[in-house]
Structure 1
Amino acid sequence: MLLMSRSVGGYHHGNLQAALEDAALDLLETTSAPKISLREVARRAGVSHNAPYHHFGDRAALLSALGVRGMAALLAAQEEAVASAAGPVERVRALGLAYIRYAAAHPQTFALVFDPDYCAAGSPSAEMAPLIARNEDLLGGEVAALVQEPGWEGRDVMALSAALWSTVHGMAQLIMLGHLPLEAAEPALDALVR
């Protein structure tokens, strides 16, 4: 279950902040974060062009909120994939595949999650920090189980976690940029972890 709900029509006396975020997430499906304007978000949400300023002081605040929602959705996709896989090797494979598939399905949102202008490494927002910690714990826990498996035993959990994340993130980037087809992800992950 992804946490990125979408607004189908304009705002209709519900939660204006959520309606604005939903409208902005819709825009992120086709527009990069630097090209999103609060005026266009307001138009898509069906509210006045000043309405976003009541919830977000500026465009950067809106994009930071979208980054948090994107991180929550990425994490949920990975947790769901891990929960449905059996065995350490399969869970690590599922984790990586969910990461790559999320990036391929939501490239602009994925890019925003890792954009240092909205989520500076080492100093995430109060909303982003627990999501990052959960994501790191998920990967670290699955890698800790993996290094108990024959052929993997004795490997350093932190080093292997960093290597796997770097590889999967790089593959996601290559797929998002069109240098690799999405279909390459499964065999590549099989080659990596099996």
Structure 2
Amino acid sequence: MTTERAYHHGDLRRAILAAALDVIAAEGPTALSLRDLARRAGVSHAAPAHHFKDRAGLLTAIAVEGYGLLAATLQKAESLRDLGLQYVRFAAAHPAHFQVMFRPELLRPDDPELLAARERTRNQLHTAVEGYSDDPAIGVMAAWSMAHGFATLLLSHNLDGLLDGRDPEEAFLSLTNEMFQSAKNPATG
């Protein structure tokens, strides 16, 4: 099946999203061009605009899809620590989505689908933090910062030297053990 035939069967949207994810994974989200994606899909340069209107629309669709994938991944968590681990796993499995989801300057901030997808994910985090912190907002910020920071450093290869061959998931769990232990037994002195 050719790409143009896929388009005639209604698959152009998915083909453009897949091509965009490939470009983002290789070159980052700022390298995207609807014209280039149309060329890759073998369709007219105006065809992607029928589905996404513009680059921000395409990136917003990728973010919405990413939040859906993240929500599905987080549902597997059995504890707050596991929620962080699932977050890191999501980032490692979907690096292109991850790069786009947290770049509001690239997205349509008022898109209803994006707002709903973000809210679903935030609700999962709030629910997981309940009972762990006297201040749920601070608890959410702490948990999210730890998982997001680790995932971001991992994907940008800034942890390579520190990991020194260690499995990133095991390292993240060790990090959370260290943090939780420190919270229970603050250092004196």
TM interval, shorter chain, is 0.7 to 0.9
Give the alignment partner of residue 100 of structure 1, picking from 75, 88, 101.
88
* Structure-1 separation of matches of 2:176 and 2:29: 29
- CA pair 53-69 structure 1, distance change in 2 beyond 3 A: same
Structure 1: unaligned runs, 5 residues or longer? 1-7, 86-90
Does 2:157 correspond to 1:170? no
* Structure-1 separation of matches of 2:155 and 2:32: 19
What SS does the corresponding residue of 2:66 show, helix, strand or coil? helix
Q: CA deviation at 1:57?
A: 2.0
What SS does the corresponding residue of 2:144 show, helix, strand or coil? helix
Task: Supply the RMSD in Å over aligned alpha carbons.
Answer: 2.3
Q: How many corresponding residue pairs?
A: 170
Does 2:27 correspond to 1:39? no
* Structure-1 separation of matches of 2:117 and 2:178: 29
Does 2:77 correspond to 1:78? no
Q: Of the two structures, which has the highest relative contact order with CA contacts closer than 8 Å and spacing of 6 or more?
A: 1
* Structure-2 separation of matches of 1:186 and 1:98: 11
Q: CA deviation at 1:126?
A: 0.5
- When normalised by structure 1's length, the TM-score is 0.76
Q: Tell me what 1:14 maps to.
A: 9
Q: CA deviation at 1:97?
A: 0.9
CA offset digits 1:35-81 (Å, max 9, x no partner): 011122113323222211222222222112112112211222112x2
Q: Mark the structure with the bigger radius of gyration.
A: 2
- CA pair 54-124 structure 1, distance change in 2 beyond 3 A: closer
CA offset digits 1:142-181 (Å, max 9, x no partner): 111xx2xxxx5x6222221111111211111111221224
Contact 1:93-1:189 within 8 A present in 2 as well: yes
Structure 2: unaligned runs, 5 residues or longer? 182-189
